[in-house]
Each structure stands twice: as structure tokens, then as C-alpha cells.
Amino acid sequence: MAEAGTGRQGGAEAVGYGVALLRGRAMPSLFEALETQSEGTVAVDRDARVVWINAKYARMLGIADPALAIGREVEEIIPQSQLRQVLATGQPILLDLMLFGTQRLVVSRFPLTDDAGTVIGAVGFVLYDSLHRLKPLLAELSRLEAELAATKRRLDEGRQPRYTLQSYVGESPVCLEVKRKARLAARSDAPILLLGETGTGKELIAQAIHGLSARSGRPFVGVNVAAIPETLLEAEFFGAVPGAYTGLDRRGREGRFKTADGGTLFLDEIGDMPLGLQAKLLRALQEQEIEPLGSDRPVKVDVRVIAATNVDLERRIRDGRFRPDLYYRLNVLPIRLPALAEMGGGLEAIAESILQEIAARTGLPLRVLSPEAAEALGRHRWPGNVRELRNVLERVCLLTDNRRLTADDLAEALPALEAAAPAAAGSLPPVPASVPAEPPPGYDEAFDAFERALLGRALAASGGRAAEAARSLGISRAAFYKKLARLGLRAGIDGPG
């Protein structure tokens, strides 16, 4: 039994010795065979610097002496090389097509490791420069490329702006000023900061500026900063190299800046961007280059940035939540969009335009506003601005068959219009039965009294400074002065800004 055990042990040792011998001889011979049969071979170190290249490949690349390539980064001599990816992932790319000029080369790439399994370099082989043996594969590749090009065209069409400056309805002075500034902004590539409450049409104006600019044929890419989880923002904006983090597609991610290259990037709700990302955005604006997540190589981009916010960025700077240098970089050309309540007579024109859009989109009959309905709309404060107005009008169109909308139709869709007067009356103390009750104040009278008190408190709190009082109420200084004039009030002093 001992002899049998010894025999089996000796046999295992012999097999192990044979495997080691075969591996020791086969690996160099396999390398030599690949090098001999291939059209070109190149090896790089762990920093992707060329440590060896054969003469055949050097001649193909236009390098007279292979020694001239040694020590250079591989992308300097082979721009489409993927050897750096092999170094980063430690995974081979067994079969790939690499574009070299007008040629397609079939290449294989392998990592090189030490005894501990650490990647210390990589080697690439160009297997064929004549592709007649790969005609079936190339035919399938050509078909896929055609499909990809068609899909890209459809995506580019989808990234074209849907709105023009004519879509911004309103002929009041404040609306005309917005349009004037938009036309001026379209003439340059300077960053633009759109300011205004939610629902005032900031994306509409951004698209209109893009459509009037020299970039109109290129993509318009919009992104809502507040809608993207903070952990994904950096990759979403600047892209990521393959393998930058777990779960990412091995091809990496392009990023919104790269998608908008040559065109316009619209950053909505910029005030919600985390401080850490603000620094990278500032660099992208100043240098016109981005650094994808997981990469240390900057990528040049040509992007015009239009940012928008409905918050007070100056207050966020004071609170330490927004970088002042980024604010000054974005605020080259600010455009403030008026709230719906500031448009005066323009409200009716906007409502009529929305009713036309609803009829065209839904197939419902076209409705028009009666004078009483238009007046009722003008009495509402519209905190949600155009978005709220569109919602109310669409609700009215669903609730009534009337072609000519009345104040009663609106009251059904917007109960606040009919609830205001009863609520005001209900807040008064009860009147004894023996004393004749005075009639409650009318809506306009009651609202003027409320607004007069509100503006008065804001002026008192600001020491009479109209600009500061307007900011505290979240309205423009021009709108504040108009309200003062209408109510017969005046500011004591005015400050800068």
C-alpha cells in the first residue's frame, strides 16, 4: 500500500512538472507566434507608456525607427488605442475593430501580470490589415452602424428646441424687455442666468435663445439639477470612464456636457447644485473642458450654458450654499422673467394662447374668455404662474361645454376665486341683530388693503429701502414700484441693486 501511495504521489509530481514545463515553453512560443502572425504588436507599462513595438507596426504608424515610440503614451502614437482600458480593468479585449485612418484593423489586447497577479502592463496585437476574410462580420457591422446613425439622427431631432421667442406670449413692457434681452443673448456665447418664479417660462426662453443663436443646428440638452440624485450628478454631468464605479456599463457614460457639445446645455434649478459639483462646473465654464469620473485626462467641450433658478442665489451665497465665483461666472447676462401677476393686461393674451393650445392638443372645442372671466383671472394671484394657469384652463375645458367661458365656469375650476369673499366676511366679528350690518368690502378693496399692509410692513422692515423690500417679497423692484404707485405709497429711501 505504501508503495502504491508513493507511486501515485510520484505520478502527480510528474504531471505537475510537465504542466509547468509546458506552460514555461508554451507561453513564450504563443507570444512569438502571435507576434509573427500579426501585422503589428505593441506593449505598454502600467502607466500606458510604450515599452516595445515591432518594426512592422511602427512603419504602419508612420514611425521610421521603433525606438522613437519608446516612452511615449500609447495614445500619442495610436489615438484609438484601448490598452489603457485593459490596464484599468485587468480584463482582455479578445477581438475588436480599431479604426486607423480609413482602415479597420482587427486587434486583440491582453493584460500582463506579475506572479502576484498585479497588472504591470498590456500588449496589443493587430491580427489583420486585410479584412476580406471577415466580410460577413463587416457586413453585420455596417448594418449596425447604419442603424446607430439613424437612431442618433432621431435623438438629435429630439434635442432640437420646441419653442421659439414667438411662444413667449405677451406684449406688456416687461414681456417685451424679456424678448429684447433674449435676442441680445443669442448673439454671444456668454453664460446666461434666467431668474424667476417657478412656471414663468424659463426653459421656453432658454430654447428660444438657442434657436436664435449660431448653435441652433446643434443639440439643446436640458437637465433639472434638483431631479437627479446627488450621488449620480457628477457622472450625469461630466460622464464616467468604463469601470469608474460598480454597475456602470463597461462602455462608460458620455455625460450631458459631451451630449451638448457644440450646442447649449440648460441647467434648471441651478441653486440646488451641491457645492462640490459647483467647483467642477466652474472649471468647465472657464476652461471649456471636463474631467469624466474615474479619469485624470480632461476632455475639451464646446458648450454654451444657460442656467435658471427660482431661488435667491445671493442669499444662498450668504448662507454658504452657493459659490460666489460660480454666481459671477453665470450672471454675465441675467434675464428676470416676470411672474404672471406682474404682466397686467398680458394675462388675457396668455390665457387665450393656452386655450388654443389645449384645443389643438386634445381635440376639444376652442374656448374663449368672456370679459367677466378675464377679469376673474386677473384677480387671482397665480402663485404657480403659467403652469397653474394652464392647469386651471384645462380643468375648465373638461368641466364645461360652454364655448364662451364665464366667471362661474372659472369659479368651479378654481374655488379660490369664489371662496375669497366669504372667507374675508367670515373672519369679521358677529354683528348684533339690533345694529344694521355693513356690507362687506368688495374683493378689489379688500385685496388692496391687504397688499397695502404687506408692502408697508416690508418697507418698514427694510428701513424704507425699496430694493431690499422687493427682494424680501420675492418680486422685482420694478413690480414693487408699480404696486406702490397703484396703492398711493412711496418708499422712504432706496438702496443699491
Determine the pLDDT at residue 495: 42
Decide: pTM greater than 0.75. no
pLDDT score of 435 more than 50: no
Residue 153 maps to a domain = no
Determine the pLDDT at residue 348: 86
Q: Are residues 189 and 329 in the same domain?
A: yes
Report the C-alpha gap between 114 and 192 in whole angstroms.
54
HSE, CB side, 13 Å, CA atoms: give it for residue 120.
Answer: 8
Q: Are residues 240 and 292 in the same domain?
A: yes
Residue 282 maps to a domain = yes
Please say which residue of 295, 311, 338 terminates a domain: 338
- Give the domain CATH number at 75: 3.30.450.20
Q: Are residues 176 and 98 in the same domain?
A: no
**Percent of all residues in the chain with a pLDDT value above 90, rounded to a whole number:** 32
Neighbouring CB atoms inside 10 A of 321's CB total 16
Q: C-alpha 154: how far from its chain's center?
A: 19
Residue 22 maps to a domain = no
HSE, CB side, 13 Å, CA atoms: give it for residue 28.
Answer: 5
Report the C-alpha gap between 109 and 87 in whole angstroms.
10
In tens, the pLDDT along 200-209 reads 899 999 999 9
Give the range of the structural domain holding residue 242, as residue numbers without chain letter: 165-338
Please say which residue of 322, 338, 354 terminates a domain: 338
Determine the pLDDT at residue 497: 38
Does residue 288 or residue 130 have the better pLDDT?
A: 288
Q: Are residues 326 and 355 in the same domain?
A: no
Phi–psi pair at 169, nearest 5 degrees: -80, 140
Residue 221 maps to a domain = yes
Cell match 500500500: residue? 1
Does residue 454 or residue 203 have the better pLDDT?
A: 203
Please say which residue of 289, 317, 338 terminates a domain: 338
Determine the pLDDT at residue 426: 37
Residue 475 maps to a domain = yes
Mean pLDDT computed over 319-327: 93
pLDDT score of 425 more than 50: no
Determine the pLDDT at residue 35: 61
Determine the pLDDT at residue 226: 86
User: Which range, of 3-12, 122-131, 253-262, 407-416, averages the lowest pLDDT?
Assistant: 3-12
User: Which range, of 70-84, 126-140, 253-267, 365-379, averages the lowest pLDDT?
Assistant: 126-140
Q: What is the mean pLDDT of the chain?
A: 79
Q: Are residues 313 and 447 in the same domain?
A: no
State the pLDDT confidence band at 433, using cuts at 50, 70 and 90: very low
Q: Are residues 97 and 197 in the same domain?
A: no
Q: Are residues 117 and 242 in the same domain?
A: no
Which of 110-114, 326-330, 423-427 has the highest mean predicted lDDT (pLDDT)? 326-330
- Give the domain CATH number at 295: 3.40.50.300
Instruction: Work out how many domains the chain is built from and give that number.
Output: 4
Mean pLDDT computed over 436-443: 52
Q: Are residues 213 and 119 in the same domain?
A: no
Instruction: Please answer whether residues 335 and 178 qualify as being in contact, where contact means their C-beta atoms are separated by less than 8 angstroms.
Output: yes
Mean pLDDT computed over 274-294: 90
Instruction: Give the 3-state secondary structure of the chain.
Output: CHHHHHHHHHHHHHHHHHHHHHHHHHHHHHHHHHHHHCCEEEEEECCCEEEEECHHHHHHCCCCCHHHHCCCEHHHHCCCCCHHHHHHHCCCEEEEEEEECCEEEEEEEEEEECCCCCEEEEEEEEEECCCHHHHHHHHHHHHHHHHHHHHHHHHHHHCCCCCCHHHCCCCCHHHHHHHHHHHHHCCCCCCEEEECCCCCCHHHHHHHHHHHCCCCCCCEEEEEHHHCCHHHHHHHHHCECCCCCCCCCCCCECCHHHHCCCCEEEEECHHHCCHHHHHHHHHHHHHCEECCECCCCCEECCCEEEEEECCCHHHHHHCCCCCHHHHHHHCCEEEECCCHHHCCCHHHHHHHHHHHHHHHHHCCCCCEECHHHHHHHHHCCCCCHHHHHHHHHHHHHHHCCCCEECHHHHHHHCCHHHHHHHHHHHCCCCCCCCCCCCCCCCHHHHHHHHHHHHHHHHHHHCCCEHHHHHHHHCCCHHHHHHHHHHHCCCCCECCCC
Residue 4 maps to a domain = no
In tens, the pLDDT along 19-49 reads 455 455 555 665 666 666 677 889 999 999 9
User: Which range, of 182-186, 200-204, 413-417, 434-438, averages the lowest pLDDT?
Assistant: 434-438
Q: Are residues 174 and 246 in the same domain?
A: yes
Residue 268 maps to a domain = yes
Determine the pLDDT at residue 432: 45
Determine the pLDDT at residue 322: 94
Determine the pLDDT at residue 141: 66
In tens, the pLDDT along 234-261 reads 888 998 887 655 554 556 688 899 999 9
Determine the pLDDT at residue 134: 59
Longest Cα–Cα distance of the chain, Å, equals 128
User: Which range, of 52-56, 155-159, 318-322, 403-407, averages the lowest pLDDT?
Assistant: 155-159
Instruction: State how beta strands 192-195 and 304-309 pair.
Output: parallel
Determine the pLDDT at residue 422: 39
Q: Are residues 332 and 450 in the same domain?
A: no
- Give the domain CATH number at 368: 1.10.8.60
Q: Are residues 371 and 333 in the same domain?
A: no
Residue 61 maps to a domain = yes
Q: Are residues 264 and 200 in the same domain?
A: yes
